[in-house]
Structure 1
């Protein structure tokens, strides 16, 4: 009644606060779901107030996207909707019940984006998706769209050869969190924003909106060969690998750094030679951190100018692929890097780089970039993480050795390791099920 405007309230509540009061309990307790359907239908029966009726159908639209009525109520709910075909949302509500019966109930109350959309009578919701090359596109996202479906739609629209290894990520403040492909898109968003609200102190009475961005990026680098999927190389691989390269995480020679800097310049400035004079000022954007002082800025400028001249005839996309082809030769290509403090291996430095890639988990000397050891996935028997740590067991659970790390990014390491192991196990199971 509050949502439909039939129950005057002294306090002003946001629409999401009211929809939460209606749906949160019913999502947790299945027995309450029919009650919600019955109350909405009751409020809509013989209701002469047009404003109230419009809001009631908007509420039913939200409800039909969250969970279906029980078997015993289903035919009555369908009959109720079918006898009101003149209502603009009736057909849509009927279709949504079928969809939610097929794909399963939602786990979270409607996200503010969904509530806002239906209040504007929009049943088609568009959401912005950001890409690593700093472009943004909007995609249709239904209340019953799963992350997997959205990933497939994005890959298809961008003409990628496959969406395997890609994932949706949500960026909130300084955290970038990968989304489970089996979850509903709006459920995973709601879960994250609610979690952020719970962990953020808020002044009394203030309603807090959480700013977030959704990214689509490569997460797992299993079948990536530069030049094989030109769209993926140009939009994702180059732009995801470049920042890691410039942070100095790879073991890279000075000659390679010069060649790569020439290609980075080409990608950034294309045919514009006037920027060559500024190379000493923008060295950080061309050369890895750890090599900046290897020679003087003027020497870098001379070498990079010569390297750029060699690549001048290439297109920007060809330069991106040439860059990827050089770093592809390194064992650390396609890695996610984590700087951690390790407390378990006395023979290794206290601060090490951990690289997680298709080979497994590598420990790398932070200064020399030498790979100290590699733990293949099939040797890792267990792992766990918390807000300040990441732990991993190598070999037998009883007699194996443990790697103990202090890091605030344990959640990311845990998620990556789990995702790689799942993908590799699926690949093995597929091979086993193939006819001999």
Structure 2
């Protein structure tokens, strides 16, 4: 609060960490923090000190509540003060009582918000169709609530299967739905900082971006939710097709190419002559050289003309309906190196989807094996590997993969299995 002179300048977060880390770890200190802040806010004639005291009170009420014995006194104190922040502190304290205690001290975004006298934090969220929107996030917002808010605002039929992802440094990590949003981002930035120290010992700053995307495709049916198809499903499936991950015939590729062109250009035929130069944007990369550019052009235009009058929105759904028939629809694909199974190629394509873990030949795109989630008994991951046991823990077969994306495979497997168990439990309770 500036009442005690400090010898060196420190960042706001250094100070708030020092104040809030101990009470978050030791419950008995929480009352002490509230008592000290109230004491320093009582008859304080220094405007700067008082302003900072209210900033601390605002941050405290979003992190933890005092004990039952002290709660009434703190609320009485807050209600006796006539300012906007005290009213906001009462609301924050009630939300913290309802939603639970945070694990980490306030995030930099929260500290900066109250220092700039704003009690409303708006966070930008990016979507797969290259649009973005700002959403209000509170200290007590858990990832699940955040997902619901986004789904409601975008008028999606359900938020099931959707997740928030945080992109930081070179990683994109899914936010567990039960975590407080700011806790997770705080944990992530601290982890990256420790993993990548700077040479001069200074604290590196990491910017992050938040994405909202479809993660689990268990109940995804094209045409069932038009907004989800337009904003998410089409734009998330398109890159996988173009990278050549699916097994796709030349006819289907031309058909899909015509739909992709229609999404891009609608009924505008003036660009059709450019198709040979656009092939990488229309045809799977492994099939581009399977026909001459002029052959592709002829085929694509043929299908394009058949779809005359179709809107670009309808073309997106039609595109999804074709891919939906494939066993690899809605997959997350991983190129890995495996050494445990001599019958499989060393470089393997793994697709994780609603059917389980699929092992795919990277050249022919044939599915070599599908391991349903019910048969996977154990899995683990590290910085350079992903390990999985199929069947019995002792006599089952093992698959060890070299990959830097083990954390993503691990998380997907955990999430799909968790969703499967939840729906099984729901079915059981319905039968009862």
Compute the TM-score of the two structures, normalised by the length of structure 1. Answer: 0.96
Q: Shift in Å at residue 308 of structure 1?
A: 1.9
- SS of 2:290 mapped into structure 1: coil
- SS of 1:352 mapped into structure 2: strand
1:31 equivalent to 2:31? Answer no
- For residues 413-432 of structure 1, the aligned pairs below 5 Å read 413-432=409-428
1:216 equivalent to 2:212? Answer yes
Does the CA-based 8 Å contact 1:81-1:90 persist in structure 2?
Answer: yes
| Structure 2: unaligned runs, 5 residues or longer | none
Provide Cα deviations, 1:257-300, integer angstroms capped at 9, x if missing partner: 00000000111122222222222222111111110110111221
Distance 1:331 1:36 in 2: 57
The counterpart of 1:57, out of the listed 50, 54, 57, is 54
Task: Give the match for residue 88 of structure 2.
Answer: 92
CA RMSD of aligned residues (A): 1.3
1:293 equivalent to 2:311? Answer no
1:68 equivalent to 2:39? Answer no
Q: Shift in Å at residue 353 of structure 1?
A: 0.4
The counterpart of 1:181, out of the listed 170, 174, 177, is 177
Compute the TM-score of the two structures, normalised by the length of structure 2. Answer: 0.97
Deviates more, 1:356-365 or 1:298-307: 298-307
Q: Shift in Å at residue 199 of structure 1?
A: 1.5
Aligned length: 432
The counterpart of 1:12, out of the listed 2, 9, 30, is 9
Distance 2:3 2:307 in 1: 70
- SS of 1:221 mapped into structure 2: coil
The counterpart of 1:316, out of the listed 312, 322, 325, is 312
Q: Shift in Å at residue 173 of structure 1?
A: 2.6
Distance 2:223 2:275 in 1: 28
Distance 1:205 1:249 in 2: 43
Task: Give the match for residue 105 of structure 1.
Answer: 101
Does the CA-based 8 Å contact 2:263-2:313 persist in structure 1?
Answer: yes
- SS of 1:89 mapped into structure 2: helix
Deviates more, 1:294-303 or 1:226-235: 294-303
Task: Give the match for residue 250 of structure 1.
Answer: 246
Task: Give the match for residue 239 of structure 1.
Answer: 235
Q: Shift in Å at residue 79 of structure 1?
A: 2.6
1:119 equivalent to 2:118? Answer no
1:40 equivalent to 2:51? Answer no
Distance 1:121 1:175 in 2: 33
Q: Shift in Å at residue 345 of structure 1?
A: 1.0
Does the CA-based 8 Å contact 1:266-1:312 persist in structure 2?
Answer: no
Task: Give the match for residue 19 of structure 2.
Answer: 22
| Structure 1: unaligned runs, 5 residues or longer | none
Task: Give the match for residue 134 of structure 1.
Answer: 130
Distance 1:8 1:373 in 2: 68
Distance 1:310 1:159 in 2: 32
The counterpart of 2:329, out of the listed 333, 350, 356, is 333
Deviates more, 1:402-411 or 1:67-76: 67-76
Distance 1:360 1:433 in 2: 25
Provide Cα deviations, 1:390-415, integer angstroms capped at 9, x if missing partner: 11111111111111111111110010
Task: Give the match for residue 403 of structure 2.
Answer: 407
Q: Shift in Å at residue 212 of structure 1?
A: 1.0
Distance 2:115 2:245 in 1: 49
Distance 1:239 1:169 in 2: 16
Distance 1:339 1:5 in 2: 55
- For residues 361-372 of structure 1, the aligned pairs below 5 Å read 361-372=357-368
Task: Give the match for residue 144 of structure 2.
Answer: 148
Task: Give the match for residue 384 of structure 1.
Answer: 380
- SS of 1:94 mapped into structure 2: helix
Task: Give the match for residue 262 of structure 2.
Answer: 266
1:192 equivalent to 2:188? Answer yes
- Structure 1 stretches of 4+ moved >6 Å: none
Distance 2:22 2:206 in 1: 23
Distance 2:370 2:203 in 1: 48
Q: Shift in Å at residue 100 of structure 1?
A: 1.1
1:356 equivalent to 2:352? Answer yes
